[in-house]
Amino acid sequence: MSKRELLDVIAAEVVVCRKCRLWKTRKNAVPGEGDPNSQIMFIGEASGYWEDVKGKPFVGAAGNFLDTLLSEANLSRQNVFIGNIVKCRPPKNREPQPNEINTCTPYLERQIQTIQPKIIVTLGNYSTSYVFSKANIPFNGITQAHGEFHKISILDMRVTVFPTFHPAASLYSARYKERLIQDFRTLKHELAQEGLI
């Protein structure tokens, strides 16, 4: 099977998943989307209101800012893959609970193994904590971890992880917005060095 077909199989499972209680309150699961052959993967936290309505990742206000950030790094949604550690919206946008993360991340792990990205950009505390835990790297919060490249082994692969803030943080703080823009400029420089843009 091609990468696209394998991702479609995973997405079909996500859409009907009832492994945790989030299926009871969701409108749509959000499997993730993008280029199956991309060498760059973005991992967020969980769906928000508009993602739940549309079944697509990052389509609300934070998604609009993510589009701006992607263009800052000479990227677009068409040439990356975007997913979340939790594929359904937690009620009232509460934070995902550990059991929900543990139940849902096998889908994400299969997506990572299918895509085989060279660079994973983690957006926020939850996705960074998850990826770091898989690589046995201590995590002391996104404020300390952001903007640095980490070469790690995860799921039997060597990959570079670049943590940054969740785009939603920019909606509440001009300081985080500026840090995100700066991080994506750093990312652009690295991608250019690696010949990925």
* For range 67-89, the mean pLDDT: 97
Q: Which residues contact 181 (CB under 8 A, 6 or more apart)?
A: 69, 72
* For range 55-66, the mean pLDDT: 94
* For range 47-74, the mean pLDDT: 95
Asked if pLDDT for residue 113 goes beyond 90, the answer is yes
The confidence score (pLDDT) of residue 103 equals 97
Per-residue pLDDT tens over the stretch 131-185: 999 999 999 999 999 999 999 999 999 999 999 999 999 988 999 999 999 999 9
The confidence score (pLDDT) of residue 197 equals 86
The domain ranges of the chain are 3-193
Q: How far apart are CA 22 and CA 19, in angstroms?
A: 8
The confidence score (pLDDT) of residue 27 equals 97
Spatial CA neighbour of 165 closest among 119, 190, 139, 128: 128
H/E element, 40: strand 40-44
Long-range contacts of 131-138 (CB under 8 A, 24+ apart): 131/43, 131/161, 131/163, 132/161, 135/161
The CATH number of 3-193, from 3.30.70.20, 3.40.470.10, 1.10.1450.10, 3.40.1030.10, is: 3.40.470.10
Per-residue pLDDT tens over the stretch 4-50: 999 999 999 999 999 999 999 999 999 999 999 999 999 999 999 99
Q: How far apart are CA 53 and CA 75, in angstroms?
A: 25
Give the whole-number percent of the chain exceeding pLDDT 90. Answer: 95
Q: How far apart are CA 120 and CA 160, in angstroms?
A: 6
